[in-house]
Amino acid sequence: MNFLTLLRKRLLEPKGILFTLLLLLTLLRVPNFAEPYWYGDEGIYLTIGNALREGGKLYTTIVDHKTPLIYYLAMVQNQLQFRILMYGMMMLSTAAFFAVCRTLFGRLKPAAIATLLFVIFTSLPWFEGHIPNGELFVICFVLYGAWILLHTSLVKTYFSSDEVRRQRMPSPKEQALLLLAGVSFGLALLTKVPALFDIVAFGLIFVFLAWRTRLKHLAPQLLSAGIFAIGCLLPLVISVVYFYAVGSGQDYLNFGLLYNFKYAGSWQLSFTSPVVLFFFTLQGKALVLGGMLLLLLGLNRKLSPVTQFSLAWFWLALFASLLSNRPYPHYFLQVIPPAAILVALFFTRERGLALISGSLTVLLAVLVLLHVGLYSTGAYYKNWLKYLTKQYTRQEYFQTFDSLMNDNYAAAKLITTTSSKPSLFIWGTDPMLYALTKAVPPTRFTVSFHIADLNVYEQTMKDVNAARPEYIVVMNDETRELPGLNQLLFDEYTINTQYDKFALWKRLPNAAGLLY
């Protein structure tokens, strides 16, 4: 056997296929490490992570509206480290997804197809897979929870055969696996709230199994489901206890948990058709989801377990991505794992082809109806190659990401060279500049739209007056006024530099200060 034949044989084995997929993932993500500080949400994460490193209290002295784990993951030194962390977790996610698919399909080829789709759509810029959004970290925790769950005999039984034998009570080892799987899902929930629907999807395995066995042998199933649920709740309970212990319990409740309900209901759709508009309301989406889950339950004996579960997971993930109806591509990353499985099922000609193809068609229709603006992939790699081959300067390359880049990097250089520990306040939306300078905001909020949304202008201005930051940035595109800011700038600051996108004000030496 010659070398090429041996290599081909090895690459077609499970380890060889996984190695090839991980290599592809690595190649697709190489440009991720050359990006500037350009993306708003990432800037917020890094700014809050820096504030936490400096001793800040999450939700009390520094605020955003997501559950806490994403901010603790962002407690790295810089963006490059955050990107490396994301890359490592996506490597783990891919390995876990491949293992999950091999168990679900029982065959190598469809598992490889599904994982290939997973790698492509979670890595390319189409759905912002190149950015450390919370969804990518959620996917990692969900898939590892799924991988652990599939090692339990009860769940294995559901996927292995239509005929379910009598179940025994879970052994101590099985109970530990169920609890550990639940904890992994719970960590996903602590990263972003829509992970709740992934938890429901995998929890439905116990429901489908009970229905498949005609509600026989319920004791082992109920105990297993209960242990899994306890595992899912455990990280949330620990987080609540922790934040109350450090005096931030009410703030955690307000901003980390309850604010999500306000956020989900604040987006206005532009549909003129009352029928289409209804199906994007919470009631309409819940009606469609409930109808699909009941249909899948009714087709318990007509669909294979993998098709039944994958369809349920897909519809719950789609519901989660549409909670706020916002057309942000990264919201739909949550749908990619079950969608990839459905595509592989379609090509294996599984039973339920009409439901599979119909579900995927609905996803495409949603993307079109909401005008989800997928990021350009060709331009992303083309610009990187131009930078790599010195056709673009660093400045020109950075500017391809956002028109703020030249101003931000120039201002950051000025600020950090004149101060070892910069104090900065930004009126507007430019959290990337906070992250670049490693400046901790003097207020609880990193962007002006949070201040406006919560109507905390007065408290914000009090915080700015108390801090008297060395630098204040006023964005040109910020149309809202912060009462008292102009007076403070007039009395105690002077314009240091007028950039294209904002004005950088510097505090006058020996400024007397005003009483407010």
The tens digit of pLDDT for each residue in 100-132 reads: 999 999 899 999 999 999 999 999 999 999 999
Sheet with 493-498, strands from edge to edge, namely 424-427, 471-475, 502-507, 493-498
The total number of residues shown for the chain amounts to 516
Q: For residue 442, which of 71, 37, 63, 43 has the smallest C-alpha distance? A: 63
Give the per-residue pLDDT at 514. Answer: 46
Q: For residue 428, which of 410, 461, 450 has the smallest C-alpha distance? A: 450
Q: Are 410 and 395 in contact (CB under 8 A)?
A: no
Q: Are 437 and 417 in contact (CB under 8 A)?
A: no
The ranges of the chain with pLDDT < 70 are 1, 3-11, 161-167, 215, 264-266, 511-516
Q: Are 84 and 205 in contact (CB under 8 A)?
A: no
> Which pair of tokens denotes residue 90?
């996506």
Give the per-residue pLDDT at 516. Answer: 40
Domain boundaries, the chain: 3-34+65-369, 403-507
Give the per-residue pLDDT at 268. Answer: 78
